[in-house]
Amino acid sequence: MGTFHFSTRSLKNLSGVHPNLIAVVGLALAQSHVDFTVVEGLRDMETQRKNVASGVSQTMNSKHLKQSDGFGHAVDLYPYFDGSVQVHAPEEDFKAIDCAMQAAADTLGVHITWGGSWKSFVDMPHFQYEGVK
Ligand SMILES: [Zn+2]
């Protein structure tokens, strides 16, 4: 507990993300048993168009895009171990991140949704901000 801290990469990728979601990610990282990296946060329209075209994303309504409040409302978190980001990490590692994220969200009174719980398009690294409780 409390052994993990944001890498430069994670800090850069949190730029433009809603402050409440940044707070959840920060607390989750401090309490998580699995180290993780923020691989993506705010995404521009051009990148989203490419993602939809390639099938990586399914919608142009992505919460990664700048929302009406001026912030991105989604982050993609990947386990980090053995010196690198683990894109193909076991599902348990993503679930561990979800546990830390939900606990942090509860503590901070914030609603989040995990893409790993979606039925049609399971998106394990994806977390999005849904507002305050
Ligand atoms: Zn995502």
Distance, CA 82 to ligand 1 centroid (Å)? 23
Distance, CA 126 to ligand 1 centroid (Å)? 4
Tens of pLDDT along 33-92? 999 999 999 999 999 999 999 998 889 999 999 999 999 999 999 999 999 999 999 999
Ion ligand 1: protein residues whose beta carbon lies under 5 Å: 74, 76, 126
Which structure tokens are listed for 34? 């699995």
Name the CATH architecture for the domain at 8-132: 2-Layer Sandwich (3.30)
Could you tell me the pTM of the whole model?
0.94
Distance, CA 1 to ligand 1 centroid (Å)? 26
Distance, CA 8 to ligand 1 centroid (Å)? 20
Check if the beta carbon of residue 58 is closer than 8 Å to that of residue 34: no
Taken in order 9, 15, 18, 23, the sign of the CA dihedral is positive
